[in-house]
Structure 1
Amino acid sequence: MTARGYPPSTDMFRRDAFHRRMAWIFGLQLLGMVAVALISYYELGPLWMVLMLIMLTTLLGWLMARRQWRQVRRLARAIKSWDESKNDLRPWQPGQLPRRTDADVAALAEGLYAFANRIAGYNQRERNFTRDASHELRSPLTVIKMSAEMLSDEPGIGEFGQRSLQRIKRASREMEALVEALLILARESDRGLTSEDFVVNDVLRDELADIRDLLEGRDITLELDEPVRFALHGSPRVFAVLCWQLIRNACQQMEQGVIAIAVMPGAITVTNRIDEAAAGQVNRHGFELAIAQRISERFAWPLELQTREGRQHVARIRFPQTVAVS
């Protein structure tokens, strides 16, 4: 036995056994047809005997072929009943296959068992990462935020110190949103995310309030246009993280100006206009858009990026399935 728990090779099984057995089946049928032809040609028996011989030969061939397919069907049932959330992979072990199993079927079972082991390992690492990262990253961020709040109340801190504290607070909020986005993307499935009907306008308004705090001290104005209202069924936190990524990226592309967020029927657009004079001083890091693109693909919310005349950048996120607002 190897470290993975299954036989090191498929040499213990009979190679080409399936082919040989199928050859026996077709050989039996051929003999039956020859016998039928001889009986009919030489009139050695009545018609009912010929028909019975044909039926018997066909039935025996079907039974033998069905028996050979039993191994493949057993493997198919194991695949159908496999639960990737459980680590019990004993039904997949090739060592449990009968000795008469064809080597090709055993090789397929061995490959599927190794694949199931890898998937189980991936799931375990996913759970460990999301659990550990959630605790190990959020805890120090909470300490940083609390310490910054306490320091901001100290009367002896000057103007330079207050600006530094504001930058610390802003960076800690950005890190919280980034950690949230990475943890969402790290999950293989949507387990752990709450799904509900939520109005996108309300969630977007709350998110803009936090973003305005991040923009304190910068000459950037956020404008929200809401000609329509609609709702979605899903995770409001995922939606908020996606909107934060798009607006944050728009803020990075400009030093001053207006960022317009519009709620359109089944879509949300984020538009900015970059001044030519400030364009060369802008940080154009695209990490946030990469995360937004991955969230878009993960939850089937198509993301469109456009650059119009006058250095106007537009990000549009579409929602194919919306819920009517009551």
Structure 2
Amino acid sequence: MFLLQLAIVSLVVVVVMLWLSAANPGLAFGTVTVVAILLALGSIVAVSWMTYRATRRLLAPVDWLLREVARWDPQRPDTRALSPDRMPGEIQGDTRKVAIALHDLGERVDSFIARERDFTRDASHELRTPLTVIRMASDLISHDEGLSDRSRRSLTRIQDANEAMESIMDALLLLARDQEVALEQEDFAVRDVVDAEVERIRPLLEGRDVQLDVEIKAEPELHAPPRVLGVILRNLLGNAARFTDVGHIKIRLLADRIEVKDTGIGMDAATLARAFEPFYRIDATATGAGLGLSIAQRLGDRCGWPLQLASRPGQGTQATIMFGTSIATD
């Protein structure tokens, strides 16, 4: 466009110089040149100004759209200004189509998030009732003196599974809440959670050549939801037990982290990069839906506990829960 304008201006200057020379044979060449230069400069300024105004008019709708999008909160974009009934009348053409498409996309995303949040919340609440019934009934049965040892062991497993389900419900409710909603936190000893989850995982290792070791280097306390930490640690220990046939699983509790290290099958770099993806399974033949690590990572992010993985094929995996700033202080 600029080159076309320059060519037009140059042509005008040449024509004017030829006309002046033909109309005034006695006119000095210098005067003709000065007049031509002034005319050229004036033409350039006029054409540039008209081009600028025309460009401003053409780009004004795009500028408006960019300003509206720049105001969006990445966590919760407000697309109401892009609704067809609220857009300025001068927003037409392709820009209007893009704005309407963005508005529709935002509406669909909001609807999807709302449905997911409502489903998680409602399902969690509805499941609490039967879980409460199971817990109360199992507690009553546990007082029966006539239970055999085998029945009492089965009852203990039922109680442990019920408690685990209640913890998962708490974790799902936490994920369903908005980031702005404060967590229900309390001070608790991390060792209590570690001991409980270690005892819960021991039955999975019975009859297998896998040694379970616990090393306590410190006894930190956290100000956070205690059941959520249990869910995260349970997922890590479950994976370690599932993918370790021979060797050991070691849990180390330090002042600022929990480490779970195994001598299982391990993961290569490509698998490790996808380990936190929902529904991704390292071994397609293994049981489980492939959601454990994904949920654990989301819970860790929600509570400020970054989850780290390090692994090598054939050498095992180490998972680390970093406590961050949630360590309780006096």
TM range (shorter): 0.5 to 0.7
| Counterpart-to-counterpart distance in 2, 1:235 and 1:52 | 74
Distance, in Å, in 2 between the alignment partners of 1:218 and 1:61 is: 76
TM-score by length of 1: 0.65
Q: Which runs of 5+ in 2 are unaligned?
A: 21-31, 265-284
Give the corresponding residue for 1:194. 183
* Among 203, 208, 214, the residue aligned to 1:224: 214
Note if contact 2:201-2:237 (Cα within 8 Å) is conserved in structure 1: no
The Cα of 1:65 is off from its aligned counterpart by: 0.5
Look up the match of 2:319: 316
5+ residue gaps, structure 1, are 1-22, 275-283
Percentage of matched positions with identical amino acids: 25
Match of 1:295 in 2: 296
1:141 to 2:144 alignment: no
The structural deviation recorded for 1:227 is 3.8
Q: Distance in 1 between matches of 2:185 and 2:318?
A: 25
Partner of residue 194 from structure 2, selected from 208, 212, 215: 208
Amino acid at match of 2:183: T
Which residue of 1 is the match for residue 29 of structure 2?
A: none
Q: 1: distance between equivalents of 2:203 and 2:36?
A: 105
In the alignment, the residues of structure 2 paired with residue 197 and residue 169 of structure 1 have an alpha-carbon distance, to the nearest angstrom, of: 24
Q: Which amino acid aligns with 1:208?
A: V
CA distance in 1, matches of 2:87, 2:237: 57
1:67, distance to aligned residue in structure 2 (A): 1.6
Q: Are the equivalent residues in 1 in contact too, given 2:214–2:252 (CA < 8 A)?
A: yes
Which of 10, 20, 35 lines up with 2:12 in the alignment?
A: 35
Map 1:254-293 to 2 at 5 A: 259-263=249-253, 268-271=258-261, 285-287=286-288, 290-293=291-294
Secondary structure of residue in 2 paired with 1:302: strand
1:206 counterpart letter in structure 2: D
Which residue identity lines up with residue 102 of structure 2 in the other structure?
L
The Cα shift of 1:109 comes to: 1.6
Pairing 1:116–2:106 present: yes
**SS where residue 136 of structure 1 aligns?**
helix
Q: Shift of the alpha carbon at 1:82?
A: 3.4
Contact kept, 8 Å, 1:29 with 1:57, in 2: the verdict is no
Residues 71 and 29 of structure 1: is their aligned pair in 2 closer, same or farther, counting only changes over 3 Å?
A: farther
Q: TM-score, normalised by structure 2?
A: 0.65
Give the length in aligned residue pairs: 287
Per-residue deviation, 1:30: 5.9
Change (3 A) 1:193 1:307: farther
Which structure: larger Rg?
A: 2
State the distance in 2 between where 1:323 and 1:219 align: 32
Determine helix, strand or coil for the equivalent of 1:154: coil
Q: CA RMSD in A?
A: 4.6
Distance 1:130 1:100, change over 3 A: same
Alpha-carbon contact 1:196-1:233 (below 8 Å) kept? yes
